[in-house]
Amino acid sequence: MTVTTIKDGEYTATVYKMIKDGRYGEAIHILSHELQKQMKSRAALSLLGYCYYHMQDFTNAAECYEQLTQLHPETLVEQLPQDDPDYEVDMGCLLYKEGEYEEACKKFMSAMQVLGYQPDLSYNIGLCYYSMKQYAQALKFIGEIIERGIREHPELSVGMTTEGIDVRSVGNTLILHETALIEGFNLKAAIEYQLKNCDAAQEALTDMPPRSEERVLPSSGHLHQHTHTDGDQGNGSTLSDRKLLERELDPVTLHNQALMNMDKKPSEGFEKLAFLLQQIPFPPVTFGNLLLLYCKYEYFDLAADVMAENAHLTYKFLTPYLYEFLDAMLTCQTAPEEAFRKFDEMNAKLTDQLRKLAKQVTFFQSPLFLQLQEARLARNLCVIFVSKVQEARLARDNEALKKTLQDYDEMVEKYIPVLMTQAKIYRYIPVLMTQAKIYRYIPVLMAQAKIYWYVTVVLSCRYIPVLMAQAKIYWNRENYQMVEKIFRKSVEFCNEHDTWKLNVAHVLFMQENKYKEAIGFYEPIVKKHYDNVS
């Protein structure tokens, strides 16, 4: 049906019938023609965005909705009846966007009670739990998505790729989209990655319904180019060296593949992340991750170039903390003293925030104090913290305490990398350790983690890599005594971490007169992984 064959007064009915029948392409043709006549038509833009969304043309859908928000910024959600499940879902999305994950989760659960099971709602709930670091609960909802997907849609070949079975791409079908399997597997991969289960994270990606990473296009196709030379990791490669391609993989999956395969295929990982930066939209964390990985692999010039070429992205996708941290890291390569000053300023701000948060925490007269006694830590404590939240203490309000500790831990995550990177500029870490007296409370938090979450894991994700980078300076100079000294300074935080113990063993071994001590560190690791020794 062409636009000219539709009678006057029948446009609306015709478009809605097309949408009802799933004929989104035809509806888009008519709505696009209507927009040429009325460029600011609210109804046409809304329906056009809806059709693009269901055809999985998310770029055009986003453009339509962006125009709508600019033309009609008034809040419409609150105009819906509050007993409407759509109201609950929409409010949940807005609350999640504002970082109110617990309240958002309640909204999604309320909607599911009315609407029944829906994969997208189950994913939203899992995402909320993930954002609250409640990974077990998140995996529960993701597991249900996967189980239903396997049972109801065997044609999607879930898990076949992991098993080594050669299967054809299932494409980006509407059925695949409705199952939320791709979103679920990506979230599962993210959780396993956070928990340092790298094999399980990679398996989650390969368990996805198979889609071709790339498909050959006609010569008229176009692909943005970005060059990256990976040093001695391989030859310089550009996307333009290959045939013109179209990827069936969504940006999130492509990003996760790059991130989780960096250790094995760094050149390919950098290429994928750089490619994503040229696409609209791309996952918001892509920009920051690319810069951090460039710094990790010591491609500081490339990191500086990317920041300079994408200045507009720094304000949009980098938090003030991450921007300051990266800026100081890059400054360190040319002006160590200036970098030290920048890190010092960051330290001052973070320390102030940590101390303010510490005043809100109390353990005395709380159920947690009994846990500390069981952990044999309470006997060494006189006064831990002064609390400003007397109501929470008297009411045994664990939720308020939990929220305060979570805020505190997030601040600790930011403080440690700055502290350690600043120390890296100078020869001796004790210069800065006087600034870190606040960390004497860390063993207490370790006991708390038994109840709430594994603070040890959170800290080691940031602390260990920076510590090893610092030690590497002296390792390269064969100053093994200084490396050992650095490791001994970190024993309070790292003595249960296998990576730390393995590197301590290495540095003791290299000193030749400490073989017996080295064996003491090697032996438990070998026994732990004995089944993997071929």
Count of helix runs (H) and strand runs (E) in the chain:
28, 4
Q: Is residue 135 part of a domain?
A: yes
Q: CA 112: distance to chain centroid?
A: 26
pLDDT at residue number 487: 83
Q: Quick one: 248 and 304 in the same domain?
A: yes
pLDDT at residue number 96: 93
Contacts of 329 (CB under 8 A, 6+ apart): 295, 300, 303, 339, 421
Which residue, 284, 302, 317, sits at the end of a domain? 317
Q: Is residue 523 part of a domain?
A: yes
Contact, 238 vs 227, CB < 8 A? Answer: yes
In the beta sheet, which residues pair with residue 246?
Answer: 215
Residue 456 one-letter amino acid = T
d(Cα 439, Cα 445) in Å, to the nearest integer?
Answer: 10
Which residue, 17, 49, 74, sits at the end of a domain? 74
Q: Is residue 226 part of a domain?
A: yes
Q: Quick one: 308 and 341 in the same domain?
A: no
Phi and psi at residue 227, in whole multiples of 5°? Answer: -100, 140
Tell me how many domains the chain contains.
5
Q: Give the domain CATH number at 92.
A: 1.25.40.10
Q: Nearest to residue 252, comparing CAs of 305, 180, 338?
A: 180
Q: Is residue 476 part of a domain?
A: yes
Q: Quick one: 337 and 388 in the same domain?
A: yes
d(Cα 150, Cα 159) in Å, to the nearest integer?
Answer: 9
Q: Is residue 248 part of a domain?
A: yes
Distances (CA, A) of 149 to 156, 379, 433: 8, 52, 52
Q: Is residue 164 part of a domain?
A: yes
Q: Quick one: 402 and 458 in the same domain?
A: no
* pLDDT tens per residue across all 534 residues of the chain: 555 566 766 778 888 888 888 888 888 988 888 888 887 888 889 899 999 988 878 888 888 888 888 887 666 677 777 778 888 998 899 899 888 999 999 999 999 999 999 999 999 999 999 999 899 999 999 999 999 999 999 998 888 877 777 788 888 888 998 999 999 999 999 999 988 888 999 999 999 998 876 543 333 333 333 333 333 333 333 343 333 334 678 899 999 999 998 988 899 999 999 999 988 788 999 999 999 999 889 899 999 999 999 888 888 888 887 888 888 888 878 877 677 677 667 656 755 664 565 555 444 334 554 454 444 333 333 333 334 344 444 455 556 666 666 665 666 566 556 655 655 554 433 433 333 433 434 444 333 333 333 333 334 444 566 567 667 767 877 889 888 987 887 776 677 778 888 999 999 999 988 999 999 999 988 888 787 765
Q: Nearest to residue 458, comparing CAs of 473, 447, 467, 446?
A: 446
Q: Quick one: 144 and 232 in the same domain?
A: no
Written as one string, the DSSP assignment of 245-308 is: EE--S-HHHHHHHHHHTTTT-HHHHHHHHHHHHTSSS--TTHHHHHHHHHHHTT-HHHHHHHHH
What range does the domain containing 311 cover?
212-317
Q: Is residue 448 part of a domain?
A: no
Which residue, 146, 180, 208, sits at the end of a domain? 208
């996952």: which residue's tokens? 283
pLDDT at residue number 323: 86
Q: Quick one: 184 and 234 in the same domain?
A: no
Q: Quick one: 88 and 195 in the same domain?
A: yes
Q: Quick one: 94 and 178 in the same domain?
A: yes
Q: Quick one: 344 and 277 in the same domain?
A: no
In the beta sheet, which residues pair with residue 228?
Answer: 237
d(Cα 252, Cα 260) in Å, to the nearest integer?
Answer: 12
Q: What is the pTM of this model?
A: 0.61
Contact, 120 vs 180, CB < 8 A? Answer: yes
Q: Quick one: 459 and 518 in the same domain?
A: yes
pLDDT at residue number 432: 38
Q: Nearest to residue 178, comparing CAs of 121, 126, 131, 139?
A: 121
Q: Quick one: 351 and 312 in the same domain?
A: no
Q: Is residue 447 part of a domain?
A: no
Q: Quick one: 330 and 437 in the same domain?
A: yes
Residue 159, CB-side half-sphere exposure with 13 Å CA sphere: 8
Residue 233, CB-side half-sphere exposure with 13 Å CA sphere: 19
